[in-house]
Structures are given as C-alpha cells and as structure tokens.
Amino acid sequence: MKILAIDTSCDDTSVAIVEDGSILSNIVSSQIEFHKEWGGVVPIIAKRNHEERIDVVIAKALQVAQIHMDQIDVFAVTYGPGLAIALEIGIRKIKELATKYNKPIVAVNHMIGHIYANFAKNSKGKPFNPKLFSKAVFPAISLLISGGHTEIIYMKNHLEFEKIGQTLDDSIGEAFDKVSNMMGLGYPGGPIIEMLAKRGSQDTYKFPIPMINSKDLNFSYSGLKTAVLREIQSMGTVKYPETKEEHAELPNRITISKKPIYQLTKKQMEDISASFQYAATQQLIMKLRKAINDFPIQNILLGGGVVNNVYVRGEIRRELRDIGVKVFYPNNKKLLSDNAAMIGIAGYYFAMREMFTSIHALDRNPALSL
C-alpha cells in the first residue's frame, strides 16, 4: 500500500511517500528562517509559505520515491492539532488529489504521528526500532513532548489511546523556548538550551520541580519558568542588544532577539540552561515512574520535538532501565521533529483497518486532542 502523506500543521511543509510502513521519501521544507526573527511561529507567514511550497514539495517527494501520483493508493493528511490556517493548506491539497485520483483519505492526528514515528521502517523495509516488531509491545506508555504538548498516553494496543496525564499550563517545548527568549536568545529555544547546558552545571541553581507532590500524572511548567525568570531578573540590569557582535562569544546559530534582555554572562546562561533542563527532565522522569506504577507496562514510546534532546531522552532511558522498562524513540533525526513520514506511518495503520474519512467530513481541528 503506497501512501502520500502531508503535514502542514505548523512551520514545516512536509510530504512523504510511505509504502507498507517503509519510508520511500520524507521531504521537509523548513520555514524557520522566516519565523525566528519573531521569536516564534507567525501563522500567516506559515500559511503563505505552505501555499507557495506545497506543490514543489509533493513533486520532490514523488521524485525521490521514484513513483507517479497515479500509483498512490491512499492519501493521508494531518487534520489537527496545529495552526488552523496552516492545517487548511494540507487538507485542501489532499482533498484535491483524492478527488482527482479517486482514492481514499485517512485523517491523522499529528500527535498520533509522533507516536507512530517509532514504528517507521527505512526504504529497504528495515525497522528503525526492530524490537518494536519482534515482541509484544503493548500495553505501552507514550510520552509526548513537543512545542504544544506534554502528555502521557496509555496504549492497550495499536491505535488505542487513553490520555492519562497532561500539562496544566505550558508544554515542555514551550518552556525551553521561553527560557531561551528570557535570556535574549533565539527560537526554537530547545536546541540552544541543550547546547548551552552541556557546558553548564545543573547544580548551580535549585529550580523547583513542579507537581512532584501531586498524586496525578499531570505536568506543569509555568512555576519552573517563573523561577527561572526571577533568577535571571536578579542577575543584572536590562539592556537592549543592538548588534550580534555583542554576543560574538556565543555560538553563531544563536540569534539575538530584539526585545530588552537581562545582562547575563555566558557562564550564567550555561548554568541556568543546565539547571532548568535538569528540573524539566526530572519532572518527566518522576511522572513516568508514577505512570509505570499505576499502569504496569514494559515499554515506553517517546515522541515530539523535545526528544531531539540527547540529555532528556538519555536520562529517561537511564533512569527507567533500573526498573526494567525499555524506552524507544524514533531512531532517525528527521523523524524526531515534525515530518510527514510519521503521518504516513500512522496513516498506514489506520488504512489497514480501513479507517478512512470521507472528503466531506474532513476538516481541520486545531485543538484536536487524543
């Protein structure tokens, strides 16, 4: 079964060709250059870029996969969660193609895509996570950590999702982005904080680990964010950076924001990053331990952009190894961030069960939940 999948949920225009769970192509056209000067994604810029690029990205995905559109059996598209006007571009295109080629549509929840990235196979049919195919995986727990979500999902089986924990305020990815912003650094903040944290000490600042005493599996990142802000405010005076040269000592991938920032030394930035990253990760580990206690499982599937962070995923894996729980993540750089292949993989599992969506019922759902 050959699937053409589209994801335009946020700031990446992505199209993939997936055959029986194997990725034949996965093209991601990033718009980050257009958004970073605003310190976040600007919906109208995202929409315009998706509109301009979608046909070229589709053509490229077919070319790399070496197939023609008339060989496609199923069309898959992200219908939420995400930015309404961005989702619309992918949905409109999928409707157009499904009508023209008279083929069924699967509508995929972006977060299910992040989970199913774990089940991807390469173009030769070899799984990135072979162990997920060789034994009983379920019941399992999925931890979703992205720019919009921090959630724990209990999965009794394939395509059975029960949300058992979620953030009450900010997502963890948002917290990384905001801490970067507070220090006057760029967007997305996650990779910047991770890089600075490598040289910092996590013991310098004792930031609170929110929700550790709560009995549920929910998360909160606003208290941690506020504690970091207070620390930063206590450090120095406000100034208005005008030139990149002022921050010449920082790695050049860091962009300088236009808003007033607090005067921090590079060492302070590194220590804040490490201490924040430690507290943010500890919260994940504590909640996962509790979830494993409440829901006996042997496998955890990680998903979402924050899984790019080697420290975060490494600590989770290390901490849970002692209690015999295996931690999986999409073992391929492109599958960690937003991409259409994950939508094609999830779409394949839905299509196998003939869970199609009619063209008339298909509509964007920006606040779609699991």
Strand 105-109 versus strand 74-80 pairing type: parallel
Pick one of 104, 139, 191, 366: the residue that binds ligand KG4 (CB under 6 A). Answer: 191
Spatial distance between the Cα atoms of 285 and 172, rounded to a whole number of angstroms: 13
Whole-number minimum distance, CB 153 to Zn ion, in Å? 14
CA dihedral of 31, 32, 37, 42, whole degrees rounded to 10: 60
- For residue 327, give the H/E element and its range: strand 326-328
Nearest-Å Rg of the Cα atoms of the chain is 21
Spatial distance between the Cα atoms of 75 and 357, rounded to a whole number of angstroms: 10
Region 295-354 residues binding ligand KG4, contact defined as CB under 6 A: 304-306, 308-309, 337-338
Q: Which amino acid is at 304?
A: G
Token reading at 230: 């207070």
Give the one entry of Zn ion, ligand KG4, none that residue 109 binds, where binding means its C-beta sits below a cut-off of 5 to 8 angstroms depending on kind.
none
Tell me the window of 62-70, 182-190, 253-261, 353-361 that interacts with ligand KG4 (CB under 6 A): 182-190
- Determine if 147 is a binding residue for ligand KG4 (CB under 6 A): yes
Give the one entry of Zn ion, ligand KG4, none that residue 151 binds, where binding means its C-beta sits below a cut-off of 5 to 8 angstroms depending on kind.
none
- Determine if 146 is a binding residue for ligand KG4 (CB under 6 A): yes
Give the one entry of ligand KG4, Zn ion, none that residue 194 binds, where binding means its C-beta sits below a cut-off of 5 to 8 angstroms depending on kind.
ligand KG4
Whole-number minimum distance, CB 302 to Zn ion, in Å? 13
> 12, 26 in Cβ contact below 8 A?
no
Size of the site for ligand KG4 (CB under 6 A): 20
Spatial distance between the Cα atoms of 215 and 359, rounded to a whole number of angstroms: 43
- Determine if 107 is a binding residue for ligand KG4 (CB under 6 A): no
Residues in the chain: 370
Binding site for Zn ion (CB under 5 A): 146, 338
Binding site for ligand KG4 (CB under 6 A): 10, 146-148, 173-174, 176-177, 188-191, 194, 304-306, 308-309, 337-338
